Chain A
């Protein structure tokens, strides 16, 4: 099982807002490590979607936002569009694993 816990799936209708949670512990998110988010469209490589908790790389729409608090983080997607249907992964680092990188289990977003 993953060190970071994500819901296996979320769904929403076009135009709606959805959030994806990423729950960690005091040895990773709670230790102050940043949380990064990746979007993986079917059959493609992951793409950086959000870095350092709440920063969007150039080209990522402002419909995407990130938040971190305590031992958890979340990714919010507003104005849901069909092309947002993908798998989303959170990633951080863990001090109990000698600061190794860790990924969440991934969340499948379905646009209804």
Chain B
């Protein structure tokens, strides 16, 4: 079945970087996009950016521009999201989600989420 399996929880110091992975299975990875969404504790969903898994094109939210980098490894059917210069406000759950593209498409399959805790 179609699924996205994310990497495990992380604990980071302020100022560090974190890289979260999202391994796809059950479908043709390159035919879809992968979006990344953050959810701080008790807060709403925040869109971070997306990558076209076929050509590697990316688009980032203005809020995270300059701190986030999304990449993909088609040979491993895996997308990665790296967030740098971490601060306590970045603590939360990071989700990857599949979509047919980056514009006007819905996110039909979601990973279970990766908890990132930023604390000194």
A contact residues vs B (CB 8 Å cutoff): 2, 33-34, 36, 38, 40, 44-48, 51-52, 57, 89, 91, 93, 97-106
Contact = CB atoms under 8 A, between A and B. Distances in A.
B108 A101 contact: no
Contacts of B61: 97, 100-101
A100 B104 contact: no
Contact of B106 (A2, A36, A40, A103): A36
A33 B35 CA distance: 17
B104 A103 contact: no
Nearest to A1: B44
A52 B46 CA distance: 20
Interface in B52-111: 59, 61-62, 95, 97, 102-104, 106-111
Interface residues of B, number: 23
A51 to B, nearest CB: 4
A51 B102 CA distance: 14
Interface of B: 35, 37, 44-47, 50, 59, 61-62, 95, 97, 102-104, 106-113
B111 A45 contact: yes
B45 A106 contact: yes
A45 B106 contact: no
Contacts of A98: 59
B30 to A, nearest CB: 21
Contact of B62 (A33, A51, A100): A100
A45 B113 CA distance: 7
A6 B62 CA distance: 22
